[in-house]
Amino acid sequence: MSEQDKNKEAAPATGRSPQLRFDHKVIMGLIEPNSKVLDLGCGDGTLLSRLIQEKGCHGTGIEIDEKAIYQCVAKGLTVSHGDIDSGLADYSNKRFDYVILHESLQQVLNPRRVILESLRVGKKVIVGIPNFCHSWARLQIFFWGRVPVTKELPYQWYDTPNLRFLSLKDFRYFCRGEKIKILKEVGIVGNRAVRFRRNLFSNVGIYLLEK
Amino acid sequence: MTPEPTDFVETQYATFCAPPNELVLKSGARLGPITLAYETYGNLNEDKSNAIMVYHTLTSDAHAAGWHKDAKKPGWWDPMIGPGKAFDTDKYFVICSNVIGSCMGSTGPASINPKTNKRYGLSFPVVTIEDMVLTQKLLLDHLGIPRLLCAAGGSMGGLQALEWAVTYPQAVRSVICIAANTRHSAQQIALHEVSRQAIMSDPDWQGGDYYGKSVPARGLAVSRMIGHITYMSEKSMEEKFGRKLISKEKLGYDFTHDFEVENYLKYRSDSFVQRFDANSYLYLSKALDYFDLAEDGKLVDAFAPATASFLIVSFTSDWLYPSYQSKQIVKALKANDIDVSDIEINSSYGHDAFLVEVEGQSNLITHFLNRIRKAAHVGAG
């Protein structure tokens, strides 16, 4: 199982069930039918497979974990075995309608380059990030003086696969600095969208980007 | 493993290009008549859309699956081809043809030249991977099949599958290419050259004219030993043999065999000499070395004509056809917007993994073919 899958396993609050994960539902809602999609860090291919079946998309995935590749192929998906950091160079400009970077960005070595490369090969990019500064995490830091460990981010400092720690606000600042347009931001806590103070109350932020 | 009565298969033969309609080979030389040995498994469906061609490795043959009468073992890819297996013969019609230049039933240097009534020997023209594929297309035409559902092979077979994909894009829906590449590297050519020199420096080789006399057995055996070393990984050799001694308590301090690995190489090469022609080894190894899918320029351009869906498989410990070479194929296919899935299977078996790692590959191939079959609305045979 890939680190991302572990993350997904450990993230019941994002509303996962075999039929419907709320974060997947949000992402599906951002994608136009019959689009061409590249899913970076596609895991076992659950989201990609639903996009193909339910939205008539054409899709391909990139995944580092060998076992997940078998699961993707078993779902009838096209998938490439490799890491996200080097996997994007193979594609020409604006090859895809959407590039999805969901639950994988915090684990790549060079997220800035990956996002810019994704915006090069995709007309639009969907990024899903765990929010390291939601209310419960802030409380842990403030009252206990400890680095937060939560249901969504269950790792200790010594075993986390996450290389990057950011908040929704950090991501907005990044996009502004890079002149990336945020077409939509959805904050998620549990099985619902966060309406206000998203950076405080969201566990996960999902962005629709364009450049 | 004992065969059921339904498991028995027989090799068939087809002959084309009888003079004056000889085949013009890539080298410009003309060759004819050409016989190909081939076997088929399963049934061709009504609209002839369920055919899969599997391509064999350098020293293999048309006998990919099932059993020959009185044989001790089944065909070389039997774990993958048969009812309910990855290449499911309840669904697919599987064809395997022996390549030209080989000595396993197809026309090669050990065949009789009808013009002289003598064996060709070195007067046999040099053949290429392109020529192999050209003759296999003639076989497919002979069988009346317009388009393959899949072209599949490992090692030299993988090269043929790729060549088929770019030469006959209209005649193939999908390609499975395992532990292969698009051109031999200097190291691969060098290893082959050592193998060839081993054969040619055997005094019995006689410039290739040894038929009816004593064969260059020592040279061919050495070349096979080199082959076997390249097919394994350091780890798999260590696990299989380590420094185990053969029925000795201590080292002999002489030049008889001490170690199991020495015995293994001798055993495998001796049995190889019994079944394979030294000149064929020269010709086929040369065909591999000459192959360069991108000889006219960039690999990306070389794949431009391809339209098939691809599955590219490599193995972590394969140092003869390393994974990075498979990745180059994937990269070039992606650049052409061609549907390609790829996997680097974690295995310690080296190049041999292609024939050893049955479970993972069966899983992949079964589902990959299912997708292709469904997309093309192909009925069972």
Task: Report how many domains make up chain A.
Answer: 1
Residue of B325, B333, B331 lying closest to B306 (CA atoms): B333
Q: Tell me: pLDDT of A122 over 70.
A: yes
Mark yes or no for CB contact B341/A70 under 8 Å: no
**What pLDDT is attached to residue B145?**
98
For the CA atoms of B184, B186, B191, B197, what is the dihedral angle to 10 degrees? 110
We report the CATH number of the domain holding residue B251 as: 1.10.1740.110
Give the total number of structural domains in chain B.
Answer: 2
Tell me the C-alpha to C-alpha distance, in Å, between residue B158 and each of B83, B144, B163, B310. Answer: 23, 24, 9, 11
pLDDT for residue A4 is more than 50:
no
- The strand pair at B87-88 and B81-82 is best described as parallel
User: Do B301 and B335 contact (CB within 8 A), yes or no?
Assistant: no
Choose the mutation target among B343, B361, B362 for the interface with A, i.e. most A CBs under 10 Å: B343
- Flag whether B299 is in a domain: yes
Q: How far is B172 from chain A (nearest CA, A)?
A: 18
What CA–CA distance (Å, rounded) separates A117 from A95? 12
pLDDT tens sequence across A88-102: 988 999 999 999 999
The confidence band for A106, taking pLDDT boundaries of 50, 70 and 90, is: confident
Whether A81 sits inside 8 A of B343 (CB atoms) is: yes
Say if B195 falls within a structural domain.
yes
Cite the DSSP H helix spans in chain A: 3-9, 22-30, 46-55, 66-74, 84-87, 111-121, 135-139, 168-177, 198-201
Output the CA–CA distances (angstroms, integers) from residue B287 to A64, B192, B283, in the order listed: 35, 11, 6
The model carries a pTM of 0.94
Q: Is B380 a domain residue?
A: no
pLDDT attached to residue A10: 38
Residues B151 and B282 in one domain: no
> Which of these three, B233, B268, B286, is where a domain ends?
B286
Q: Where are the alpha helices (DSSP H) in A94-210?
A: 111-121, 135-139, 168-177, 198-201
Which of B343, B370, B374 minimises the CB distance to A66? B343
| Strands B23-24 vs B30-31: parallel, antiparallel or unpaired | antiparallel
- Residue A105, pLDDT > 80, answer yes
B160 and B295, same domain (yes or no): yes
Give the pLDDT score at A18: 58
Same domain, B167 and B216: no
Higher per-residue pLDDT: B169 or A108: B169
What is the predicted pLDDT for the residue at B2? 77
Alpha helices in chain B (DSSP H): 129-142, 156-167, 186-200, 217-231, 234-240, 260-275, 278-290, 299-302, 323-335, 353-356, 358-375
- Give the residue-averaged pLDDT of A65-93: 94
Q: Which residue of B has its CA nearest to A86?
A: B331
Do B195 and B301 belong to one domain?
no
Q: Which of B61, B88, B258, B318 is catalytic?
A: B318
Residues B199, B273 within the same domain: yes
Distance from CA of B358 to the nearest CA of A (A): 13
CA distance A211 to B4: 64
Whether residues B218 and B245 share a domain: the answer is yes
Please give the pLDDT value at position A9: 40
Domain region containing A77? 3-210
| B257 catalytically annotated | no
- Among candidate residues B264, B286, B308, the one where a domain is terminated: B286
* Domain boundary residue, one of B253, B286, B319: B286
Residue B142 lies in a domain: yes
Spans of chain B below 50 pLDDT: none
Listed range (A146-155, A178-187, B98-107, B124-133) with the worst mean pLDDT = A146-155
Largest CA distance in chain A: 49
Same domain, B159 and B40: yes
Residue B342 to residue A111: CA distance in whole angstroms: 24
Residues B313 and B282 in one domain: no
Confirm whether B118 is domain-assigned: yes
Contact B356, B347 (CB under 8 A): yes
Identify the three-state secondary structure at position B144: coil
Q: Are residues B195 and B162 in the same domain?
A: no
Considering the domain architecture, whether residues B54 and B133 belong to the same structural domain is answered as yes
Which residue in A14, A16, A57 sits closest to A33, CA to CA? A57
Q: Which of B154, B182, B216 is nearest to B290 (CA)?
A: B182
ipTM: 0.93
Identify whether B193 is part of a domain: yes
Query: Which one of B56, B63, B192, B351 is the catalytic residue?
Result: B351
Q: How far apart are CA A21 and CA A12, in angstroms?
A: 9
Residue where the block lists tokens 């939560």:
A150
Task: Determine, yes or no, domain membership for B114.
Answer: yes
Judgement on whether residues B82 and B139 belong to the same structural domain of the protein:
yes
Query: Residue B223: inside a domain, yes or no?
Result: yes
Which residue segment(s) compose the domain that B247 sits in?
189-286
CATH of residue A121's domain is 3.40.50.150
**Statement: residue A164 has pLDDT above 90:** no
Q: What is d(CA B15, CA B35) in angstroms, rounded to the nearest whole number?
A: 4
Q: Is B247 a catalytic residue?
A: no
Q: Are B294 and B324 a contacting pair, CB within 8 Å? A: no
